[in-house]
Structure 1
Amino acid sequence: MKKTMKIIGYILLALLLLAGVMLYKVYDYPVHSVEFNKAKFSAVDTDEKIDQLTRSLIEKMSLDEKIQQLYGRPISDALTLVGSSAIFGRTPPVYGGGNERLNIPPFAFSDGPRGVRANKLRTAGDKLGVTSFPVSMARGASWDVELESQIYDVIGKEMRASGINYTGTPTINLLRHPAWGRAQETYSEDPWLMGEFGLAAVNALQHHNVMSCAKHFALNSIENSRFVVDVEVDERTLREVYLPHFKKVVQQGKVASLMSSYNKVLGEYAGNNHYLLTDILRDEWGFEGFVSSDWFFGTYDGIASIQAGLNVEMPYQKVYQPDTIKQGIEDGQITEPDIDELVFDTLRTQLKFGLAEDPMLYPDSIIATSKSIELARIAAEKSMVLLKNSKVNNRPVLPFDKSSNKTIAVIGRLADMENLGDTGSSKTTEPYVVTPYEGISAYHKSLGNKVVLDKATDLNASKKLAKQADQVIVVVGYTHVEEGEFLLASEEANKAAKLGKRTGPKTDGGDRENLKLIPEDEALIQALASTNENLVVVYVGGSAIDLSSWDSQVPAILFSWYSGMEGGNALANILYGDVNPSGKLPFSIAKQESDYPYFTPYTEKITYGYYHGYTLFDKKDIEPAYPFGFGLSYSKYDYQDLTVLTPELTQDDTLKVQVTVTNTGDIEGEEVVQLYLGFDNSAIDRPVKLLRAFDKVHLNVGESKTVELAVKAKDMAWYNPEAKEWQIEKMTYQVYVGSSSAKQDLLVENYTIL
């Protein structure tokens, strides 16, 4: 017995030692430099020299070394990465490629749609927080492309200071339906708005020699079934609706990389879809970068992926196994030159960015500077959308009066929550977060007002407080629990998709199963709606909601989104008029959920149609609750004198129009001037109108500005699937210019393409 106990003791000790070693390995995740030793390479100042250098390096590699360039890391490193995040709350960069013998450093990957995902440690346990911006959908609501450039300039700098040179951002998947769980990570329901913002992001990142990986290519607009769903789409819809923004970042932005999506496209997984990855992306668009897979569940067949043109499997080696590849070569399914070409795309891109001159140095001190944090606040302010602002006693509810001796009630379960959105791949670690209550409380400190927090655990108490307060701010919406990246295991997702319904308890993230707020928030709004005339409902979330049960009952509604680390301060500045709201909806809000295209979180197959969002509402003559491009201001803007400067065009010309916009209110502000093209005279089925230009202009009180907008004739084309080409119709078009996509908000004139 003693001998047995002794053996058991040794076994337990050995297991403890093994666990300790593994825990230390998880904690001591290796950090690699991604900087090229430029002294080891001759000057490569032309594309031709980069090509030559890339070919010469590949020629020096063995087949095994080439295969090592085709994946992120071995499975053991991937498990270490997961453990480091789960146990220590860190997300180190994920490395890939590299060849020490040939002086090629690995690349270091981090996500980053609202800030750097990877956590850099100054010393053990000392987290260096990054600047955390409002989510992408909020920034899309700013309609401010220059602002997006500034934001990604900061993110690019902080990437480099964190040792990152490859990033999985921007996300430019289309918002087809507002229930999509990852809506917050993208910009809009509209391909044009999406493309302009995606281009700004790519250009700003790559200015700092961070390789941008735009994602997810393609048709990834459903979350819970993302590992299994097969998306059916016709050729026109694919080309005109779901690919234009990817094409823009490829051809205009020269994006370094794309990430393939999890889903199938027309029966073939995107990670081994030759039509997407080679026929369209490389042969038609001329893409010269590299494609990496979506993580863990994005690859299924090593040979098929090589044949399709997938360059890198991330984050670890799953299907790109040496035995598989060598057997494929032996069987004649693939050749070693096929491997060479895949390696060439990746290595050439690495060399192009790694050997380029940096515009600056990237020390730790540039992370989360006061200037960057100020930009986060400004971004939140410019993003917020004022949907409703009724008049009470002949004046609008907002901005609230900011005189002294007042009681302000801030009510709701989210009122004092650090709630920045998704905690999947877009999570950030920031120095601090200003909640709505904290921002409003700080604002009133100097005014001597009393700010009362009520987390709405007792509706009767909340009603009593609201009746007694001078101003009521009701904070409702979502968290990462209700919407976000779906982190359920693929096997469970498979099962749910096959059955067409959720198979277990609700897990964090994923698609929303309906568009209403959670029952507690719905009940809170209903309870407080009639208690106080000076009441605003502040919505926190990443997409459209169903407001139908309470919209008419409340005097004011503000979309504040997931507004970043400075969101609470920004909210106070908006509510009290220090900042004039200028955000506009980047999507349409329907009166009823059935007005949107068919959507279900759990399915093995779905069809994406030609119409969605405002194009669907226009075509079916459905009046939305709030139209695409809509947003109120504390000022009023008058549009006059729409003039077509080029009334007749050839197919190589550019449409130019101008319009005069005047601030007729009593506060300075910014207005988003929107241009749509109309196709009333088309011989084929086309949308009623499409966004094709916009500009955000600042106007002082009483100031008028003549705004000029331009659209190239090629951007009026439709894709003819029979001819397999883009064609421009010779006809008379309409040009609409105004403050939103609603007919009553637009001036209209005609022009002709001869």
Structure 2
Amino acid sequence: MKCVKIVASLLLIGSISVNTQAQKPVYQDETRPIEERVEDALKRMTLEEKVAMCHAQSKFSSPGVPRLGIPENWATDGPHGIRPEVLWDEWDQAGWTNDSCIAFPALTCLAATWNKDMSLLYGRSIGEEARYRNKNILLGPGVNIYRTPLNGRNFEYMGEDPYLSSKMVVPYIQGVQENGVAACVKHFALNNQEVDRHTVNVVVDDRALYEIYLPAFKAAVQEGQAWAIMGAYNRYKDQWACQNQYLLNDILRGEWGFDGVVVSDWGGVNNTEQAIYHGLDMEFGSWTDGLGEGASNAYDYYYLANPFLKLLRSGEVKEEEVDKKVRNILRLAFRTTMDTKRPWGSFVTPEHAAAGRKIAEEGIVLLQNKNNTLPIDLNKVKKILVVGENAIKPMTVGGGSSSLKAKYEVSPLDGITERMGAQAEIVYARGYVGDPTSEYNGVKLKRDLHDSRSAAELIAEATTLAKDADMVIFIGGLNKSDNQDCEGNDRKHLELPYNQDKVITELYKANSNLVVVNISGNAVAMPWVNQVPAIVQTWYNGTESGTALASVLVGDVNPSGKLPFTFPVKIQDNPSSSFGEASYPGIDKVQEYKESIFVGYRWTDKEKIKPLFPFGYGLSYTTFQYGKVTADKKEVAADGNISFTVSVKNTGATDGAEIVQLYIRDVKSSLPRPVKELKGFEKIYLKAGEEKTVSFTIGKEALSFFDDKKHEWIAESGDFEALIGASATDIKSKVSFKLK
């Protein structure tokens, strides 16, 4: 009897697939508008099929409707690479031999490029990898604001400034979705720490919410046309973000008109009724195991599974509630898996590796370069000592859900040896031992990092070798272990771990020709900053990490990255740490953002705090000269635009790129405003001696603040200034203008 049912089902599917164009059901006819197809498919579905689409069926998939030929949805962790396959019901690796991916740079690196073209390249490349693996939801990018340098997950995000994040996220989304893969922007919203992330209730004023924490999400929805949004773990207004009336219904769908699908973070749902009514569409990863219900299939006992179905069957919940969710899920299917023009993608290609390398090279930031220590002159430097665990430690493994099984990863030491080894002797010393045991969900390091020597022995070896070297390159920083740059917990302090400050200090005493390379996704304290001649900030740069670093160190590539967040001298200089535990990490699971809109450079400007390195800062191997900024008018109408123009000349002997930054200052406002705010940036490439003109055009939006009493954006008439800078503290010139 079972065989008869199976055959009948197959015949039904077959009969649909071979119909002529005229007979084809509306939902299968790609010439019809998507909304017509959605409604046609919806009316053909049973109640049970509708509910099934609203929750997971495995760790990373949710059901389609086989009877109607509607495919399953398959999600994959991003946003830095396509994670390896896991078992159906387990987090353990499935043991595939063909799922090793290209690891792309972390999004802190992408943000540090300040280059929208790099963002599009990134999105297209990772989208092709996702499509080849037949995923239709990429769980990324992340755009949560960098509120504290202690947040363990900052490396996955795009920095402290809402404008920079907004402009960088849009091309990424467009690139991913060109491949018929939905970008799932996360984590919406206010997920700015890992401490108590499943329980903390964030208290934030509406000005900060709308001016700081929402703009990148809004740009993702309205400019990037993102097809999916992932809710956050934390609470806001005492409701979990994955089932939040204010965030999901009032703002996301009501104010912004989002027509995509809202998915939960894995295990982010906590209540059936709120999940039904407060804007969630698809539930993934909830921790229910079904055992309490006497059943083995955990997925049937998710909040939007059997409990939802029971309420619908009894009439306590109207069918229109499940229809709202299924419309969004069907829309996702028609945009991805049911689009017959969807490209096929590609996987682990030389082109993708080259894209990752290019992004990494553009994102590396030169922080300090006294006496032109860099680039390394291999005609003079014949013996180089490389010191530090991060020179040999793979960084694609660990960090939480962004951990990857990379096809390969070029370590910094390997990159330096490959590029410089033919012209100089490369010697390595460990210097310190951090965490030799990195592993995540079955992906393990291929290099044994265990070392039984004492800290004193390791330093003694490094300093002895340093005395005999022409140059010392220390490669350290953070890693992706717990309590560092890692999902699940925050850092304990701003200082470097594993006694690295001591190692750096002793190396400098032994050889002052020292370069410090910091690998991290967060700011770190640098008590040795006044001694060390050269400092390079690099990131978790993936497959071609070491190659990109070496190319910058020797000058094959002129560094052009700039910081997407402020480096404070000490943790107390960061606003979230300036108001006691109530502000960070919270007291009794309640946290108040007491600094309000004054995040990052907005805070250091307001409090006149000198940062270690400011937002937007980065050096080059060449020099740039700025002209005086001019405006095309002195007064602008409320419905008009104003343009600013400035010339920039490469006055050095080396080709290079400069990031020109536009900040706007409201001279006098009825409400407190930042001293200045980023409202434009452009990365320009200049040959030695070349000069270019850069123009920015802004309108009322760039002059507005959010009035939380009126719940609207306001641009007040009066005096403004446009400031052109090479960083938040290096303002080259300014021009005044009025808003009518």
- Short-chain TM bin: 0.7 to 0.9
Provide Cα deviations, 1:519-570, integer angstroms capped at 9, x if missing partner: 42111111112222321000011011111x2111211110011121111111
The residue number in structure 2 matching 1:240 is 211
Separation in 2, partners of 1:321, 1:360: 33
- 2:698 aligned with 1:711, yes or no? yes
The residue number in structure 1 matching 2:311 is 328
- 2:323 aligned with 1:345, yes or no? no
Q: Contact 2:261/2:332 (CA < 8 Å) preserved in 1?
A: yes
Amino acid at match of 2:487: F
Provide Cα deviations, 1:262-298, integer angstroms capped at 9, x if missing partner: 00012111122111110111111111111111102x0
Q: Contact 1:38/1:355 (CA < 8 Å) preserved in 2?
A: no
CA change 1:38–1:142 in 2 (3 A) is farther
The residue number in structure 1 matching 2:68 is 102
Q: By how many angstroms is 1:484 displaced? A: 3.7
Q: Contact 1:328/1:334 (CA < 8 Å) preserved in 2?
A: yes
Q: By how many angstroms is 1:404 displaced? A: 6.6
**In structure 1, the residue corresponding to 2:324 is in which secondary structure?**
helix
- 2:657 aligned with 1:670, yes or no? yes
- 2:681 aligned with 1:694, yes or no? yes
Amino acid at match of 2:317: I
The residue number in structure 1 matching 2:426 is 451
- 2:551 aligned with 1:573, yes or no? yes
Query: What does 1:92-171 align with in structure 2 at a 5 Å threshold?
Result: 94-119=60-85, 125-171=96-142
The residue number in structure 2 matching 1:55 is 39
Q: By how many angstroms is 1:753 displaced? A: 1.5
Amino acid at match of 2:507: L
The residue number in structure 1 matching 2:450 is none
Q: Contact 2:54/2:304 (CA < 8 Å) preserved in 1?
A: no
The residue number in structure 1 matching 2:541 is 563
**In structure 2, the residue corresponding to 1:288 is in which secondary structure?**
coil
Q: By how many angstroms is 1:38 displaced? A: 10
CA change 1:222–1:700 in 2 (3 A) is same
- 2:502 aligned with 1:517, yes or no? no
Give unpaired runs (5+ residues) of structure 2: 1-15, 88-93, 287-298, 433-457, 578-583
Query: What does 1:740-751 align with in structure 2 at a 5 Å threshold?
Result: 740-742=727-729, 744-751=730-737
After superposing the two structures, state which structure 1 stretch, 353-362 or 63-72, moved more: 353-362
The residue number in structure 2 matching 1:618 is 605
- 2:269 aligned with 1:299, yes or no? yes
Q: Aligned match of 1:386 in 344, 348, 366?
A: 366
Separation in 2, partners of 1:513, 1:640: 44
Query: What does 1:635-654 align with in structure 2 at a 5 Å threshold?
Result: 635-654=622-641
Query: What does 1:255-654 align with in structure 2 at a 5 Å threshold?
Result: 255-296=226-267, 298-315=268-285, 317=299, 318-329=301-312, 334-356=317-339, 358=341, 360-362=343-345, 366-391=346-371, 396-403=372-379, 406-420=382-396, 422-447=398-423, 449-456=424-431, 458-481=458-481, 482-487=483-488, 510-547=489-526, 549-599=527-577, 600-601=584-585, 603=587, 604-608=589-593, 609-654=596-641
Q: Contact 1:223/1:601 (CA < 8 Å) preserved in 2?
A: no
Separation in 1, partners of 2:255, 2:315: 27
Separation in 2, partners of 1:280, 1:732: 31
Provide Cα deviations, 1:98-154, integer angstroms capped at 9, x if missing partner: 010111101110011111124499x97523422211110011111111011101101
Q: Aligned match of 1:728 in 691, 700, 715?
A: 715
Q: Contact 2:275/2:304 (CA < 8 Å) preserved in 1?
A: no
Separation in 2, partners of 1:520, 1:373: 34
Q: By how many angstroms is 1:606 displaced? A: 1.0
CA change 1:332–1:688 in 2 (3 A) is farther
Q: Contact 1:307/1:334 (CA < 8 Å) preserved in 2?
A: no
Q: Contact 1:421/1:562 (CA < 8 Å) preserved in 2?
A: no
Q: Contact 1:389/1:555 (CA < 8 Å) preserved in 2?
A: yes
The residue number in structure 1 matching 2:724 is 737
Separation in 1, partners of 2:342, 2:74: 19
Over the matched positions of the two proteins, sequence identity in percent amounts to 33
Separation in 2, partners of 1:322, 1:358: 33
The residue number in structure 2 matching 1:505 is none
Amino acid at match of 2:279: G
Q: By how many angstroms is 1:240 displaced? A: 0.9
Separation in 1, partners of 2:310, 2:101: 46
Q: By how many angstroms is 1:641 displaced? A: 2.6
Q: Contact 1:173/1:218 (CA < 8 Å) preserved in 2?
A: yes
Q: Contact 2:232/2:264 (CA < 8 Å) preserved in 1?
A: yes
**In structure 2, the residue corresponding to 1:315 is in which secondary structure?**
coil
Amino acid at match of 1:335: K
Q: By how many angstroms is 1:387 displaced? A: 0.7
**In structure 1, the residue corresponding to 2:628 is in which secondary structure?**
strand
The residue number in structure 1 matching 2:445 is none
Q: Contact 1:64/1:322 (CA < 8 Å) preserved in 2?
A: no
**In structure 2, the residue corresponding to 1:56 is in which secondary structure?**
helix
Aligned residues: 667
**In structure 2, the residue corresponding to 1:306 is in which secondary structure?**
helix
Q: Aligned match of 2:642 in 641, 652, 655?
A: 655
Cα RMSD (Å): 2.2
Q: Contact 1:230/1:266 (CA < 8 Å) preserved in 2?
A: yes
Q: Give the structure-1-normalised TM-score.
A: 0.85
**In structure 1, the residue corresponding to 2:682 is in which secondary structure?**
strand
Amino acid at match of 1:64: E
After superposing the two structures, state which structure 1 stretch, 657-666 or 528-537, moved more: 528-537
Give unpaired runs (5+ residues) of structure 1: 1-35, 79-93, 488-509
Provide Cα deviations, 1:230-259, integer angstroms capped at 9, x if missing partner: 100011111111101111111111111111
Separation in 2, partners of 1:529, 1:630: 25
Q: Contact 1:71/1:313 (CA < 8 Å) preserved in 2?
A: yes
Amino acid at match of 1:70: C
Separation in 2, partners of 1:71, 1:120: 18
After superposing the two structures, state which structure 1 stretch, 151-160 or 371-380, moved more: 371-380
**In structure 2, the residue corresponding to 1:109 is in which secondary structure?**
strand
Q: By how many angstroms is 1:422 displaced? A: 4.2
**In structure 2, the residue corresponding to 1:460 is in which secondary structure?**
helix
After superposing the two structures, state which structure 1 stretch, 662-671 or 396-405, moved more: 396-405
CA change 1:699–1:120 in 2 (3 A) is farther
Separation in 2, partners of 1:312, 1:209: 19
Separation in 1, partners of 2:308, 2:222: 32
Query: What does 1:248-259 align with in structure 2 at a 5 Å threshold?
Result: 248-259=219-230
Provide Cα deviations, 1:429-463, integer angstroms capped at 9, x if missing partner: 2221111111111112332x210011115211211
**In structure 1, the residue corresponding to 2:124 is in which secondary structure?**
helix
Separation in 2, partners of 1:69, 1:132: 31
The residue number in structure 1 matching 2:166 is 195
Separation in 1, partners of 2:18, 2:485: 41
Q: Give the structure-2-normalised TM-score.
A: 0.87
